[in-house]
Structure 1
Amino acid sequence: MFDLDRWREIFQSISKNKLRSALSGFTVAFAILLFTLLFGIGNGLQNTFKNEFAKDAMNSIYMWSNRTTKAYKGNQIGRRIQFKNDDFSYLKEKFGDKIQTISPRIQRTSEVVYKSEKDVYTIRGVYPEYYILESAEVTEGRFLNYRDINEKSKVVVIGKMVEKDLFGQLSAFGKQINIGGIIYKIIGVFSDPGGDSDERYIYTPFSTMQKLYGNNDYIDEFGITYNPDLSIDDAISFGFKMQRELKKKHNVDPNDQRAIGLNNYASDNKEVSGMMVGLGILILVIGFGTLIAGIVGISNIMVYIVKERTKELGIRKAVGATPKAIVAMIMQESIFITAISGYAGLLFGVGILKVVGPSLEKFFILNPGVSQPVVIGATVVLILAGMIAGYLPAKRAANIKPVVALSAD
């Protein structure tokens, strides 16, 4: 039940003891402020990791060929390893049970022209499954299909930034562009969570690119997504196994780390997961350390406040106030100051993160922020601490006899 007289007494007590109330409030506000900033920065670092992995499918493996760095079986150092179409068939046949999708890739850089607009872009010859590897999303038209592959069609799917560069505000869908002197039809436009750089690629059928750029069966790279049911350790082992088999097939020294390159996102996931767990633990330790410091500060201040008000409490008891009423009044004042100060600290912390957030990107802290449940939970902890801190000394003071309280220094 709302007691107007009690609230008046609380506000009178606060106004008469401004310094005491300010110190109590500052302790709580500062603890919540630090807690908010710490968790916000921690979340910003986690967002950075997530953004990096958003560029490609999380269960991706990429393999590419290079030159050997070790002599092996009569072959000299520096021999160029060249993937071919039969390597693609070999991987599908040997590891089909663990492969979710697989696409070969050829990549070239070429000038692209539309009317008076032109620029240089990276052209990728791929299979239809490749959009899964890139986590791309077609926003207009469609992606490549197997009819395009079989017919070696001169069609392309372009990124949104290519569309913006060459077509401005116009739609590129259905129009034709000149790539290295060859006319292609645009059948789709895609967006990519990797950002602007990944939206400046142009995709064309793998078979078309093989025919037009060399008329051979060469492959630059394989993009693979493995079965998502594989554990991280199994996925890492799977990647190394494919690499070993290709080394065997191309007579490469098993210890040659350069001849056939491997980038397995499972390894990156394992490292990043460990880092994020460690970072989370560190932030929790520091954050809760901050809260404990705030709790200790509130407790000390409340002990001082109750001791300072011993005479006042004696007078209240002398004129008929019950111990229960005295305890309730002190606790209500404590909770009020703690809640208001905690909310102020929360608002101030969120405001700081919003203002300085964009400037923190250069320190690899992306979109720092905090979830409301976490900070509200921290504020509730401090409020409970304020209740306990106020209750224990108030209980002792409320049990003192009025004559003893009045004679206290």
Structure 2
Amino acid sequence: MFGNEIELLQETYYSIKHNQRRSFLSGFGIAWGILLLAILLGVGSGFQAGIMGLFQSFAQKSLYVYAGTTSQKYESFKEGRRITFSEDFIKTLRLKYTEIDAISPEISTSIPVRNNARDGVFRVTGINADYMHIRILEVGDSGRILTKADIQQTRPVAIVGENVKSILFGEKEALEKYINISGMLYKIVGILKNDNIFSASEINSIYIPVSCFLRNVASDNQFTSFSLYLKQNANASKFENNLRNYMAHYFRFKVKDEQAVYIANLEKQTSTFESFFNWLQGFIWFIGVCFLTSGMVGVSNIMYTVVKERTNEIGIRLAVGATPHSIIRLILLESVLITVISGIVGLIIGKSILLFIDWLLSMHENILMHKTELNMQTALAALSILVLSGIIAGLFPAIKASSIEPADAIRYENRG
């Protein structure tokens, strides 16, 4: 039994070896298709990991609320009314909703900031201690984040971005030094890390206690945005609806008036991105399978040529006792071997290209793509598709070969 199998493999090997150009042309389409599929899937996975990794800079169950201007009439109120928040409203939300784990105002303005002879215009934001956990802002090892005591005692302390530190202090140490904001000196207690694209956007930011901001920087105690973080067992979508309904009642605007208040639900946005990447991965598989199908058609055409070229040989085999089943096996095996070998070559080249892309990515920071990834399951799925395509590509030529009449095949003159 094993002798017959070995003999069959040897015959297939010699057939492929003696027709190298034909075999190469038939396998090129398959190799090209699997190579492109591997690259697209690997780059797609790296891009997905990069985008989803950005959301790690935010608490997953966080919501960001932005006040706007009403666009619809409500009872006796006309449209065009500006909505603003206050600290009392924030405290009311904290008491009303037990789902809230952290909540913070977010009041920003761009103003000049000085340090002796150096100065610059930076975005100064007033926050409370909860905000550092909502945005997951991190500082260098030798610094610290803002605390509840800083807010409660209105301590003039600040956390600054790297660019603020560079402009105001150059190469000198900035921690424990002072900067002048609106005529008041603030002690720098932390310098923000710059290790992803979102933290990179904070290089020109300065964070101070909201109590200091309202007392020394703001012209009034009203603001237009706040953020909050929900407990892990809370339903973010349900809470978003409840919050909108409550604010519509509190500020007297229509619930469907989205211009009055905009709520960014990070969990919902993350889910949207995940759905998009699932669709994208499916689309990549579709494109890859289309390439493989075109290669499979090429293999099938080549195998029809093989059957035509070997008509005399097939006729002699049938005449001396070979069964139609053995002829089918012979043709199918050649088709599958060409397909699988071409596919493995395509996978190896594709993986090599992905490794080269990884090397290029390692030379850059804060890029929207992590290391490319082509996992084992993907490789096995691709090889399974290759085996199936090889069987399909060789099936009809094999059936045609097995149905040749021995006498006609022996008389057949191959003019190709």
Q: TM-score, normalised by structure 1?
A: 0.77
Letter of the 2:222 partner, please give it.
Y
C-alpha distance in 1 between matches for 2:76 and 2:394: 84
User: What corresponds to 1:82 in structure 2?
Assistant: 84
C-alpha distance in 2 between matches for 1:79 and 1:375: 58
Asked if the contact 1:298–1:385 (Cα under 8 Å) also holds between the matched residues in 2, the reply is: no
User: What corresponds to 2:364 in structure 1?
Assistant: none
Task: Report deviation, 1:381.
Answer: 2.5
User: What corresponds to 1:61 in structure 2?
Assistant: 63
C-alpha distance in 2 between matches for 1:174 and 1:316: 92
User: What corresponds to 2:209 in structure 1?
Assistant: 205
Task: Report deviation, 1:76.
Answer: 5.2
User: What corresponds to 1:371 in structure 2?
Assistant: 374
C-alpha distance in 1 between matches for 2:234 and 2:312: 71
C-alpha distance in 1 between matches for 2:318 and 2:256: 86
Letter of the 2:227 partner, please give it.
G
C-alpha distance in 2 between matches for 1:221 and 1:170: 35
Task: Report deviation, 1:134.
Answer: 1.8
SS at match of 1:143: coil
Asked if the contact 2:335–2:390 (Cα under 8 Å) also holds between the matched residues in 1, the reply is: yes
1:134 aligns with 2:135: yes
C-alpha distance in 2 between matches for 1:298 and 1:230: 56
Task: Report deviation, 1:223.
Answer: 0.2
User: What corresponds to 2:150 in structure 1?
Assistant: 148
Cα pair distance change 1:185/1:45, threshold 3 Å: same
Task: Report deviation, 1:165.
Answer: 4.8
User: What corresponds to 1:287 in structure 2?
Assistant: 288
Matches within 5 A, 1:207-286: 207-214=211-218, 217-231=221-235, 235-286=236-287
C-alpha distance in 2 between matches for 1:198 and 1:5: 69
Q: Count the aligned residue pairs.
A: 400
Asked if the contact 2:37–2:285 (Cα under 8 Å) also holds between the matched residues in 1, the reply is: no
Task: Report deviation, 1:318.
Answer: 9.9
Matches within 5 A, 1:67-216: 67-70=69-72, 72=74, 74-75=76-77, 77-96=79-98, 98-114=99-115, 117-140=118-141, 141-167=143-169, 172-191=174-193, 193=196, 194-214=198-218
Cα pair distance change 1:365/1:154, threshold 3 Å: closer
SS at match of 1:156: strand
User: What corresponds to 1:20 in structure 2?
Assistant: 22
SS at match of 2:299: helix
SS at match of 1:82: coil
State which drifts further: 33-42 or 77-86. Answer: 33-42
Asked if the contact 1:36–1:350 (Cα under 8 Å) also holds between the matched residues in 2, the reply is: yes
Asked if the contact 2:146–2:209 (Cα under 8 Å) also holds between the matched residues in 1, the reply is: yes
Task: Report deviation, 1:243.
Answer: 2.6
Cα pair distance change 1:246/1:6, threshold 3 Å: closer
SS at match of 1:386: helix
Matches within 5 A, 1:344-355: 344-349=345-350
C-alpha distance in 2 between matches for 1:380 and 1:394: 21
Letter of the 1:207 partner, please give it.
S
Q: Identity across aligned pairs (percent)?
A: 33
Task: Report deviation, 1:31.
Answer: 2.0
SS at match of 1:107: strand
Letter of the 2:90 partner, please give it.
F
C-alpha distance in 2 between matches for 1:407 and 1:31: 40
For structure 2, the 5+ residue unaligned runs are 362-366
Letter of the 2:59 partner, please give it.
A
Cα pair distance change 1:100/1:310, threshold 3 Å: farther
User: What corresponds to 1:361 in structure 2?
Assistant: none
Task: Report deviation, 1:283.
Answer: 3.2
Letter of the 1:371 partner, please give it.
L
Asked if the contact 1:126–1:205 (Cα under 8 Å) also holds between the matched residues in 2, the reply is: yes
Asked if the contact 1:84–1:217 (Cα under 8 Å) also holds between the matched residues in 2, the reply is: yes
Cα pair distance change 1:149/1:298, threshold 3 Å: same
Asked if the contact 1:72–1:252 (Cα under 8 Å) also holds between the matched residues in 2, the reply is: yes
Cα pair distance change 1:214/1:45, threshold 3 Å: closer
Task: Report deviation, 1:92.
Answer: 0.7
**1:88-131 per-position Cα deviation (integer Å, ceiling 9, x unaligned):** 111011112x2232112221212334455543221111122212
Provide the alpha-carbon RMSD of the alignment: 4.3
C-alpha distance in 2 between matches for 1:319 and 1:69: 90
Letter of the 1:109 partner, please give it.
S
**1:332-357 per-position Cα deviation (integer Å, ceiling 9, x unaligned):** 65555334422343355456676699
Task: Report deviation, 1:23.
Answer: 1.6
**1:139-185 per-position Cα deviation (integer Å, ceiling 9, x unaligned):** 32221111111221111122344445555565543333333443222
For structure 1, the 5+ residue unaligned runs are 359-363
Cα pair distance change 1:76/1:385, threshold 3 Å: closer
Asked if the contact 2:29–2:292 (Cα under 8 Å) also holds between the matched residues in 1, the reply is: no
User: What corresponds to 1:337 in structure 2?
Assistant: 338
Cα pair distance change 1:226/1:331, threshold 3 Å: same
Task: Report deviation, 1:403.
Answer: 7.9
Asked if the contact 1:68–1:80 (Cα under 8 Å) also holds between the matched residues in 2, the reply is: yes
SS at match of 1:198: coil
Q: TM-score, normalised by structure 2?
A: 0.76
Cα pair distance change 1:82/1:123, threshold 3 Å: same
1:309 aligns with 2:313: no
SS at match of 2:108: strand
Asked if the contact 1:161–1:196 (Cα under 8 Å) also holds between the matched residues in 2, the reply is: no
C-alpha distance in 2 between matches for 1:36 and 1:7: 29
SS at match of 1:137: coil
Asked if the contact 1:41–1:365 (Cα under 8 Å) also holds between the matched residues in 2, the reply is: no
User: What corresponds to 1:35 in structure 2?
Assistant: 37
User: What corresponds to 2:386 in structure 1?
Assistant: 382
C-alpha distance in 1 between matches for 2:371 and 2:287: 17
SS at match of 1:83: coil
Asked if the contact 2:33–2:289 (Cα under 8 Å) also holds between the matched residues in 1, the reply is: no
